[in-house]
Amino acid sequence: MSAPPSRPPTFTSDALAKSDPNLSPSAAESLIHALISSRLDYCNSLLSGITSHSLHRLQMVQNSAARLLTHTRSRDHITPVLRTLHWLPVKHRITFKILLLTYKALHHLPPPLPVRSPYPQSTLQSPLILLFPHSHH
C-alpha cells in the first residue's frame, strides 16, 4: 500500500501543471479561473458549516492553483501569494458569498446573473467529484 499523497489529487491542477510552458501568464490565469476558482465558488455558500477536513482539502486546491500560477515553491508561505493575487482563503470566500447574498437580499438588489457553465451537466451535479476523486483503500 502506498503512502497518501501530500496534497489532494486534482485533475485540473495536474493537467494545468503539465500544460504548455509557453502559456502566457494571462492565459494561465484565465485557465485557472475557469477550471479551479469557478469550481471553488460554485454554490460555495452551501459549504457553510462543512467539516474542517473538507475545508482544508478545498484550501489545498486553491493553494495549488496559486502556486502554479505564481511559480511559488511549496515550502514558501502561501498567505502572501494569496494576497498578491487578491484571493480570499476558501473559508473567507464562503463567508463573503453568504454576506454578499444577504446584503443584496436585505437591500432588494438582484443576485448575480447566472453564468452558463462550460462544464457538462454530469459534472455540475457533483461539482467536487472532479476535484476529489474517490480513493480506493
What confidence category does residue 38 fall into, taking pLDDT thresholds of 50, 70 and 90?
A: confident
| pLDDT tens, position by position, 61-98 | 999 999 989 999 999 999 999 999 999 999 999 999 88
| pLDDT tens, position by position, 117-136 | 555 555 444 444 444 444 44
* Closest to 63 (Cα-Cα) out of 40, 95, 45, 46: 40
Indicate the pTM of the whole model.
Answer: 0.67
**Rounded percentage of the chain residues whose pLDDT exceeds 70:** 66
Q: Which alpha helices (DSSP H) does 18-136 contain, by range?
A: 25-32, 38-41, 52-70, 79-85, 90-106, 121-125
* Closest to 6 (Cα-Cα) out of 60, 50, 67, 81: 60
Mean residue pLDDT of the chain comes to 76
Domain parsing of the chain, residue ranges: 33-108
What pLDDT sits at residue 91? 94
